[in-house]
Amino acid sequence: MKTLVFIPAWNEEHSIEAVIADARKNLPKVDLLVIDDGSTDRTAARARRAGVMVASLPFNQGVGAAHQTGYIFALAHGYEACGQIDGDGQHPASELVRLVAVIESGDADLVVGSRFAGESDYRASRMRRGGQRMFSLLVSSATGQSFTDTTSGMRALNHRAMALFVRRYSSEFAEVESLQQAVRAGLTVRELPVGMLPRAEGKSFITPLVSAFYIFKTLVVLLVGQLRPRTNEPDGHP
C-alpha cells in the first residue's frame, strides 16, 4: 500500500531532524512530508537538509490546516494511506508502525494512538488530564463510541477517511471534531494504546485559561456537529 507519513511542525527546528530520522528508521518504505505551518525559525530548512519533502504554509494557520494539507497532498499524489506524527518529538515512530499496519490490513478507516488506553505510563498535569477526560466524555457521548484520547495527533488513515477530511476539517478543533465527523460518516474508527514521550523542546501553548475556554468551544462545536446531516462515506478520490 502506497503510504505517506506527514509531520506537521511549527517552530520545531530543534527536534524536526530527530523526528525525521526516527520515522525513516521505523518506516523505511513510506514517503515523508514535513508540513511547515508558517514557522519563523529554521524548521523548513532543517527538514529539507534531512532530505524529505516539505510543504510550507505562508503563515501559521494551526494544526487543522496543517493536517488537511497533508490529506490533500496524499490524495492528490495517489497515496492509499497516511500516518501522522507531531514534529515535537513526543510521538515515537515505532508506535505509528502498528497504527499503519491496522490501516493496511483493512480493519479500520481511521486509527488513533491513545496515551490512556491500556497500561500507559504517560503522565500529564492534573489540569491537562482533566481537560482530556472532558473531551473524551464529550466525544464518546456525541458518537456513542468510547474514546480515551481525543486530542492525540498520532493517527493513521485510509483514502476514505482522508477524502472525508479533505471536504471539511476543523481548523481549531481538528482532532476532537474529526472523530465525531468520521463516526457520523459511517467510517470504522479504532483506538490503539501507544507510548508517548514528554516534549523535549519548545513549549505548549495550552494554559489553564486556554484549556477551559477550549472545552467550552468544543462543547458548542460538538453540539452543532450533532445537528449536521449525516454524510455518505466518501469515495476516496481527490
Mean pLDDT of 7-29: 98
CB atoms within 10 A of CB 224: 10
Predicted confidence band of residue 88 (pLDDT cuts 50, 70, 90) = very high
Q: Would you say residue 61 has pLDDT above 90?
A: yes
> Mean of the per-residue pLDDT values for the chain?
87
Note the pLDDT of residue 238. Answer: 44
Note the pLDDT of residue 224. Answer: 60
Q: Which domains does the chain have, with CATH numbers?
A: 3-227 (3.90.550.10)
- Long-range contacts at 76-80 (CB < 8 A, ≥ 24 apart): 76/238, 77/4, 78/2, 79/2, 79/3, 79/4, 79/31, 79/159, 79/162, 80/1, 80/2, 80/3, 80/158, 80/159
User: What are 112's three cell numbers?
Assistant: 488513533
Q: Would you say residue 200 has pLDDT above 60?
A: no
Strand order across the beta sheet in which 155-158 lies: 53-56, 31-36, 3-9, 81-84, 155-158, 110-114, 189-193
Q: Would you say residue 188 has pLDDT above 50?
A: yes
pLDDT tens digits, residue range 113-158?
999 987 666 666 566 666 677 878 888 988 899 999 998 999 999 9
Mean pLDDT of 84-92: 97
Mean pLDDT of 91-98: 98
Note the pLDDT of residue 117. Answer: 85
95, 129 contact by CB (below 8 A): no
Least confident window among 145-154, 165-174, 180-189, 193-202: 193-202
